[in-house]
Structure 1
Amino acid sequence: MGMTDPTGVPSKENSPDHSYRAGGLDAPETGPVAGNSSIEWWRGTGVRALVRLGWQETKRLWNGRAPLHDIERRSVISRLFPQGVSRRQFFTRFASLMMLSTAIATFGILADSTAVVIGAMLVAPLMLPVLGGAAAIIMGWPRRIVSRALLITVGATLAVLLAAVISFVVPGHTDPLPAELMARTSPNLLDLGIALAAGAAGAYGQVKRHAADALTGVAVAVALVPPLAVVGITLQLTEWQLALGALLLFLANVVGIVIAAAATFLAAGFVPGRNPLRGHPQIVRGVSWAAIAAIIVVLPMQFGRGNVLPLSDPTDEVTVFVEEYVAERESSSEVVNVAVEVDGGVTEVDVVIASSFAPPSVNALAQRLAEYLSSPVEVRLLIVASETKRATVTP
């Protein structure tokens, strides 16, 4: 049996089929070429040994990490799960900030003001309950998991209702729908990636208080209240699909923060013991449920966007398509104007064309546009007679 050096990589003397050069590992010169060539490459080049070495190093770093001191752990727990008088103060402060943040976000969205919406993000009353839920999951505290889930649900419901009331009381600011609103109705995997990064930063800021300044950036990077304000506004406007998109964005943010924060708490030694996953099945179950929730959120974001959620603003995309379509088929026609509106899942397109000859077929245009958008469309074509007159004047 061949010997190995301490790193687990076969030594030169006991590996006659391998040649080792400075700067890398060479593949063996002998061995099967067909059939099992991939397996032989995997075994022969030492890649398997390098992967094993990397895994061993990762385990060494994980097992050698320093657990969080009891005083630091209690400090984090007291901030995430206040008790006694602090508990009542926490709930009072949470309710007050939730209403204020929702009001700021709703007015900012209706006014289409990015600066005002950012102001609502900075209040960030939902961040602590979400981080508390992540900490409860990896500590195996089912009661606190339920309490934080209920707190998030109550806060989200309060935000949606308040936003709907404000939208009803302050009419006339939703025609056309503000860009700040539309930007939060078509979530994608990038939003989930942002939530994951922000959740890790938020948990790190809780565990390492010298990094607490990062919490402000986290609140701006992944906003929880503005999507809820959009849900309330769109429900009041009976824009069900837009409301669904904004709700999906909120859920993606919550799930992403919880998963990343739980992983960060584990890596930072928040759970006592060198190997917290061993002997704590409730932690594994909690992380598994969080992963299942992430899959449930990701599926409609990845596969159902074209059928469930409308495009945030298809005007530019439709305009370019119509102009190219007309230019390719009718050199004597010119697109004057294109207006787009999404109503009940149907993209309504009004096209004005100046033509001096046979205009394009509206049925053919509608068919091609529906195929391009992968959604129902209604095209109305207005044709204006085009006549060119020229005059030359010589003084």
Structure 2
Amino acid sequence: MGDEAQVGQEVGGDEPMTPLAAAVGWTRRQLVSPPDDDARGAVDELIPDGEELWPYVGKFVVLTVLSAGIAAFGLLSDSGAVVIGAMLVAPLMTPITATAAATVTAHNIRLVRALLIILVGTALAVAVGYVTTVVAGTHVVSADDLPQEVLSRTYPGLLDLGIAITAGAAAGYIAPRRSVTSALPGVGIAVALVPPLATVGICAAVGLPADARNAMLLFLTNLAAIVFAASVMLLLAGFRPDDHPRRGLGRRLAVTVLAVVAVAVPLTLHTRETLRDAALERAVTQSVVAWDEQAEVRQLESDVDDDLAVVELLISSPGEPRPAWRLAQEIRSRVGGPVDLRLLYQRDQQFVVSAR
């Protein structure tokens, strides 16, 4: 019995801890131990109280207007570098992180204050994008005429949700740690907040409400995901309601989860549509090569309507055109469904003449 007890002691006490066990132990310690005063102070200072509130709001308004203006001009000029600069100036990440902190600590007044500041910033950024587009005299007939920087923010997908969740986790980790606050601008670049709002104003000004809604969906995706992920990270850092450790915390976190689910549904539909369109374009391009190896696709427009693939093609080739119905059949075999094809065929001809 003594030997067995000694062996059990050696196995239980002297055996090195596995990485998984170490991670579980660290998580338990974080969940039990409250944050220190410096961490609480860093979180409380995200949005100041009392007399310092209105000066903060004034600075927030000025920076939001300036960042939205930079973003709008960058989007309209199709300059990615300018848009990145707008992300660095944008101050929206602070009240969003403050919203997550107020959610976890059950500070209702701070939560309402942070949400109102976010609402003000949202309205200002959209308005600046709208006014900038009107002043610039931008005229757009269809969404295809928009700059690529604008278009890229009108097709949100599940990848954007993943980026926002990761960025929100980074913001939640940085917020209570003053030593790593220098990394916060990188979070602002990783997840776009003001550029989608400026895109909403741009699309509304040129009469493209559907694209404006998609850009707003991208912003709401970023907002919901950041609040959720930052709340989880602050929870792991030991933040709880001050007067009672569980007061309303489950309901508050459930609201953030529901918000993420609410934006995930349309994002899933957008992603499926994007993948479907990409597969159709790839099938059409491969069909053209199989139909005529010398042909080159000059313009391609395709869509799927009630399982019917509608394809419009502009093709150029040096040879004589082959029967169009063969190309339609080739596309149909690759797509696996009915196809309506509209084909415009151009012959590449080169003339070298001399007049003396």
TM-score by length of 1: 0.71
State the shift of 1:69 in Å. 2.4
Residues 321 and 345 in structure 2, CA contact (< 8 A), matched pair in contact too: no
Please name the residue that 2:37 is paired with. Answer: 70
The 5 Å alignment of 1:55-94 reads 57=25, 60-63=28-31, 65=33, 67-70=34-37, 72-77=39-44, 79-94=45-60
State the shift of 1:167 in Å. 1.1
Distance 1:384 1:293, change over 3 A: same
Structure with more relative contact order (C-alpha pairs < 8 Å, separation 6 or more):
2
Query: Does 2:151 match 1:201?
Result: no
Query: Does 2:181 match 1:181?
Result: no
Gaps of 5+ in 2: 13-17, 304-308, 352-356
Residues 68 and 272 in structure 1, CA contact (< 8 A), matched pair in contact too: no
> How much identity, in percent, do the aligned residues show?
35
Query: Does 2:234 match 1:270?
Result: no
Query: Does 2:203 match 1:248?
Result: no
Report the Cα distance in structure 2 between the residues aligned to 1:127 and 1:237, rounded to whole angstroms.
28
Aligned partner of 1:180: which letter? E
Distance 1:317 1:247, change over 3 A: same
Residues 121 and 220 in structure 1, CA contact (< 8 A), matched pair in contact too: yes
Residue by residue over 1:242-301, the C-alpha shift from the partner in whole angstroms, topping out at 9 and shown as x without a partner, is 22221121111111111111112122233377xx9x752311111110001111111111
- The equivalent position to 2:256 in structure 1, one of 261, 270, 290, is 290
Please name the residue that 1:215 is paired with. Answer: 184
Please name the residue that 2:325 is paired with. Answer: 361
Distance 1:283 1:348, change over 3 A: same
Residues 353 and 381 in structure 1, CA contact (< 8 A), matched pair in contact too: no
- The equivalent position to 2:208 in structure 1, one of 223, 226, 239, is 239
State the shift of 1:115 in Å. 0.9
Specify the structure having the higher radius of gyration (Cα): 1
State the shift of 1:162 in Å. 1.5
Report the Cα distance in structure 2 between the residues aligned to 1:96 and 1:166, rounded to whole angstroms.
16
State the shift of 1:351 in Å. 1.4
Please name the residue that 2:295 is paired with. Answer: 334
Aligned partner of 1:361: which letter? W
Please name the residue that 2:161 is paired with. Answer: 192
Distance 1:135 1:347, change over 3 A: farther
The 5 Å alignment of 1:87-236 reads 87-172=53-138, 176-236=145-205
Question: Which stretch shows the higher mean deviation, 362-371 or 241-250?
Answer: 362-371
Distance 1:5 1:245, change over 3 A: farther
Residue by residue over 1:21-60, the C-alpha shift from the partner in whole angstroms, topping out at 9 and shown as x without a partner, is xxxxxxxxxxxxxxxxxxxxxxxxxxxxx9x978974664
Residues 102 and 108 in structure 2, CA contact (< 8 A), matched pair in contact too: yes
Question: How many equivalent residue pairs?
Answer: 334
Distance 1:334 1:378, change over 3 A: same
Report the Cα distance in structure 1 between the residues aligned to 2:52 and 2:136, rounded to whole angstroms.
37
**3-state SS of 1:338 partner:** strand
Report the Cα distance in structure 1 between the residues aligned to 2:333 and 2:299, rounded to whole angstroms.
13
Report the Cα distance in structure 1 between the residues aligned to 2:99 and 2:343, rounded to whole angstroms.
54
Residues 197 and 216 in structure 2, CA contact (< 8 A), matched pair in contact too: yes
State the shift of 1:179 in Å. 1.5
Please name the residue that 1:300 is paired with. Answer: 266
Residues 283 and 334 in structure 2, CA contact (< 8 A), matched pair in contact too: no
Give the root-mean-square deviation of aligned CA atoms: 4.0
Please name the residue that 1:38 is paired with. Answer: none
TM-score by length of 2: 0.78
Gaps of 5+ in 1: 10-49, 390-395
State the shift of 1:73 in Å. 1.4
Residues 326 and 334 in structure 1, CA contact (< 8 A), matched pair in contact too: yes
Query: Does 2:314 match 1:351?
Result: yes
Aligned partner of 1:338: which letter? Q
Aligned partner of 2:184: which letter? L
Higher helix share: 2
Please name the residue that 2:354 is paired with. Answer: none
